A and B are shown apart, each in its own frame.
Chain A
Amino acid sequence: MSRLMSEEGIRIDGRRWNELRPVRIEVGVLKNADGSSYIEFGKNKIVVAVYGPKEVHPKHMALPDRSVLRCRYHMLPFSVEERKNPAPSRREIEISKITREALEPALILEDYPRTVIDVFIEVLQSDGGSRCAGITAASVALADAGINMRDLVAACAAGKVGGRIVLDINDEEDKMGEADMPVAYLPNLKQVSLLQLDGKLTADEYRECLNLAISGCMQVYSIQREALMRKYFATDKRGGDEGGGGEEE
């Protein structure tokens, strides 16, 4: 057995193979943003802001039939061991792209033609799986912004470490492990909107890993739900008030 996995199947940070790191999500953390969230996913600390739908500048970027979604995944210089140059790296550019493509299927962009929706993901402290944590938090921030969505997007990785398929790879497991497979999932529509793989898996391991990652996404999804419910409905413990929100004039 390797250093990453003990004889008893305990991982380097004390987790079992199917255990998620502690995840905490807060909604509405930035006053200026139309929607925002903060996530701690293991040692990841990430803040996300959503602005929009809003007017497009420059105007020629606007689309006549739908909103334009723009995403930026960015790591702060002090978020990693060695200072990171603040200019976007190739890795960040790629992650910005796959993040956008993971969120896009969940959004009903046709409802907001000629507008833009900006998603900013800032990694304050990074650990393994920051792209999944970023997508998870971004989906919550989009819901907080009140943008029409077909579903939330929950993301979680699975991988192969010390010869075993395990859930939610941390930093050390990512660096030393055999494979890392980040997955984003639309829980109600049962669709995968992000899938990447680094590392070798047999066909059977691939299926096992994909299913495990999706089960992780479902766990993340329930944490997303709790966070949103807490923000929007927590003070209402005894049912509704007379006015609710419906009636007018």
Chain B
Amino acid sequence: MSVKKTTTIVEQLRRAQMSELLAMNKRLDGRGLKDYRELRIETGLIKKANGSALVSLGNTQVIAGIKVEVDEPFPDMPDKGLFICNAEVLPLASPYAEPGPPDEDAIELARVVDRGIRESEMIALDRLVLISGKKVYAVFADVSVLNTDGNLFDATSYAVVAALLTARVPRYDVQDEKLVKSEETIPLPINTIPVSITMAKIGNSIIVDPNAEEEACMDARITMATDEQGRVCAMQKGGSGTFSVDQLNEVASLAISLGSEVRERIRSSVASSTGGGANSIRSMTS
């Protein structure tokens, strides 16, 4: 049964301050309405994974790992590889997080991130086939949230995307209908870089990249993923409020323009990232 959870209670004083500032196009943390928080991406820090990325978006911090296995394709899609995305909020991520099976928020998170990547066709699944109808690559993306401060959707999406972009998978040779693993590794076949942009509606203001405090005060939320051609590939409205059609047109334009900005950030981070290991978690929270 789906039930709204009571989240952080924001002091009425702060709430009043927030709406006062929003009326002047400002935010409590000093950002403009359309500014996202500092985004840091580091890839390749988990050597046991085929690909990995640690992303911090302000104080929200997530880690994604890619594991690639050889599996059988789905019977109705014999010529497509598999992509499976999971997410969890670790018990250490906030005072409110609790261990246990993923709750509806974590399930929604995983499904929305999955949708952006799948629908944009980021991974060329048809190029993950080793033996048609029998053997394909199965790409597992697992994301763990390390610290929550709002907008888990975007942080998680960027982490999975960065991890996929830098993943290396073993190359297999086919000999007599059998797979022979080679020493060589190859990157995953990538078509496009999808970028998720999450916006919140508080009163009549639309803000980009809400933090936890803003999420606790928001009326509604919307996440939009766009591809390199500026097409919208996936969307999800959340929260107990509504949007007008005008607002939905506004958020779409924002998602497209900010999306291309963030896409360049991801591209350059991925190109320059060296993978410093566990120390980097410390350095990122400074």
Contact = CB atoms under 8 A, between A and B. Distances in A.
A62 to B, nearest CB: 11
Given A181-B235, A202-B230, A202-B231, A192 B245 contact: yes
Closest 5 CB pairs of A and B: A191-B242, A197-B235, A96-B2, A104-B240, A195-B237
19 contacts: A69-B3, A90-B107, A90-B110, A94-B108, A96-B104, A98-B238, A99-B2, A100-B3, A101-B238, A105-B240, A190-B245, A191-B244, A195-B236, A196-B235, A197-B234, A200-B119, A203-B256, A210-B248, A210-B249
Interface string A177-200: 000010000100111111111111
Interface in A88-108: 90-91, 93-94, 96-101, 104-105
A197 B2 contact: no
B249 A196 contact: no
Interface string A67-84: 011111000000000000
A215 B237 CA distance: 19
Main DSSP-derived SS at the A contact region:
mixed
Given A190-B245, A214-B245, 16 more contacts: A68-B3, A69-B3, A70-B1, A70-B3, A72-B1, A90-B107, A93-B104, A96-B2, A97-B238, A98-B237, A100-B2, A186-B242, A191-B242, A191-B244, A192-B244, A193-B237
B227 A200 contact: yes
B4 interface: yes
Interface string B166-180: 000000000000000
**Which of B2, B227, B229, B245 counts the most A-chain CB atoms under 10 A from its CB?**
B2
Contact of B235 (A99, A190, A195): A195
B119 A199 contact: yes
Contacts of A96: 1-2, 104
**Which of B108, B240, B248, B253 counts the most A-chain CB atoms under 10 A from its CB?**
B240
Interface residues of A, number: 42
Contact of B111 (A90, A181, A197): A90
Interface string B127-145: 0000000000000000000
B243 interface: yes
Contacts of A193: 237, 241-242
B197 interface: no
Interface of B: 1-4, 6, 104-105, 107-108, 110-111, 115, 119-120, 220, 222, 224, 227, 229-245, 248-249, 252-253, 256
A94 B235 CA distance: 14
A105 B243 CA distance: 11
Interface of A: 61, 63, 68-72, 90-91, 93-94, 96-101, 104-105, 118, 181, 186, 189-203, 206-207, 210-211, 214
Given A69-B4, A101-B238, A94 B104 contact: yes
Contacts of A206: 232, 252
B231 A191 contact: no
Contacts of B256: 203
A121 to B, nearest CB: 11
**Which of A181, A190, A203, A211 counts the most B-chain CB atoms under 10 A from its CB?**
A203
**Which of B1, B6, B108, B222 counts the most A-chain CB atoms under 10 A from its CB?**
B1
Contacts of A98: 108, 236-238
A120 B253 CA distance: 37
Given A93-B104, A94-B111, A100 B4 contact: yes
Nearest to A91: B111
B3 A191 contact: no
Contact of A203 (B105, B241, B252): B252
